[in-house]
Chain A
Amino acid sequence: MKDYNFFKDFRSNIISQYEDCNAYKLLCSSQFYDPSKDLNMEVDMERVPFVETTLFKKSANMYTTLLRTEPKNLEKWTVSSSTSGDPSIVGRSKKDMLQIKEFIELEKERLDTSSEYNCVFYPEPEVMRKYKSIQILDRPTESYIGNILSIFPYSENTNYLLHPSEGEFSVDMEYFIKFLNEHNHKDDHVSLRGSTPLLYNATQQLKERMKPFKLGESAIVHTGGGGFDGKKGTINIGTKIERWRFVEEVSSFFGIPEENFIDTYSFTENTFPITGHYSKEQKDYLFHIPRWGKVIIRDIKTLKPLHKQGDRGLIQTLNAYGTSSFAGASIMVDDMAEIVSETRCPECNAEVMTIKIIGRVKGSEAKGCGATLDIKEGVKA
Chain B
Amino acid sequence: MSINYSCGSILVEKEINDYKMELNGSSEVDIKREIKRLKENKIKIHEIGIEKTIDILDKCAKLWLNREYSNKHIEMLGKITNQSYELVAYELEGSMKMLLRENIEKTITEELGNIEIMDKWVSTSYGKVHREPRGMVFHNVSGNAFVVTPVSIAMGLLSKNCNLVKVSADEPYFSYVFYKSLCEIDESIKDRLSVVYFNSSNKNIYESIVRNSDCVVHWGGEYSGNIMGELCAKYKAHLIMHGAKISFEVLDKIDDMDKTADDVARDIVLWEQKACLSPRVIFANKNIDLNSFAEKLSNAFKRFNEVLPKAYLSPWNSVKTLQDRQYCLLKYGINKGENVKLYSSFNADYTVILNESLPDKADLDRCFYRFVFLCPYESKNQVYEYVDKNLKEYLQTMGYSGDDETFIEKMTLLGVSIVTRPGEMADHCPGTSHDGLHNLQEMTYVVSRQM
Contact = CB atoms under 8 A, between A and B. Distances in A.
B365 A55 contact: no
A300 B326 contact: no
Interface string A284-305: 0000000000000000111100
Interface in B317-331: 317-320, 322-323, 326-327, 329-331
Given A27-B330, A300-B315, A303-B318, A369 B148 contact: yes
B326 to A, nearest CB: 5
A165 interface: no
Interface string A18-56: 000011001100110000000000000000000110110
A8 B32 CA distance: 73
Contact of A55 (B222, B246, B330): B330
Given A61-B335, A375-B361, A377-B362, A368 B145 contact: yes
Contact of B333 (A26, A60, A336, A372): A26
A364 interface: yes
Contact of A300 (B246, B318, B368): B318
Main SS at interface, chain A: loop
B327 A370 contact: no
B246 A371 contact: yes
Contacts of B166: none
Interface in B299-343: 312, 314-320, 322-323, 326-327, 329-331, 333-335, 341-342
Interface string A77-88: 000000000000
A202 B312 CA distance: 39
A99 interface: no
> Chain A contact residues (Cβ within 8 angstroms of B): what range?
35 or more
Which range holds the interface residue count of chain B?
Answer: 35 or more
Contact of B329 (A30, A336, A370): A30
Interface string B139-153: 000111100100000
A301 B274 contact: no
A54 B316 CA distance: 13
B169 to A, nearest CB: 10
Contacts of A372: 244, 365
B323 A54 contact: yes
A76 to B, nearest CB: 23
Given A27-B326, A367-B220, A375-B365, 10 more contacts: A27-B330, A300-B319, A334-B323, A362-B316, A367-B221, A369-B145, A369-B274, A370-B145, A371-B222, A371-B244
Interface of A: 22-23, 26-27, 30-31, 51-52, 54-55, 60-62, 65, 300-303, 314, 332, 334, 336, 361-364, 366-377
Interface of B: 142-145, 148, 170, 219-222, 242-247, 271-276, 278, 280, 312, 314-320, 322-323, 326-327, 329-331, 333-335, 341-342, 344, 346-348, 360-362, 364-365, 368-369, 394
5 contacts: A26-B334, A314-B315, A367-B221, A367-B274, A370-B244
Pairs A-B, 3 closest by C-beta atoms: A368-B274, A371-B244, A368-B145
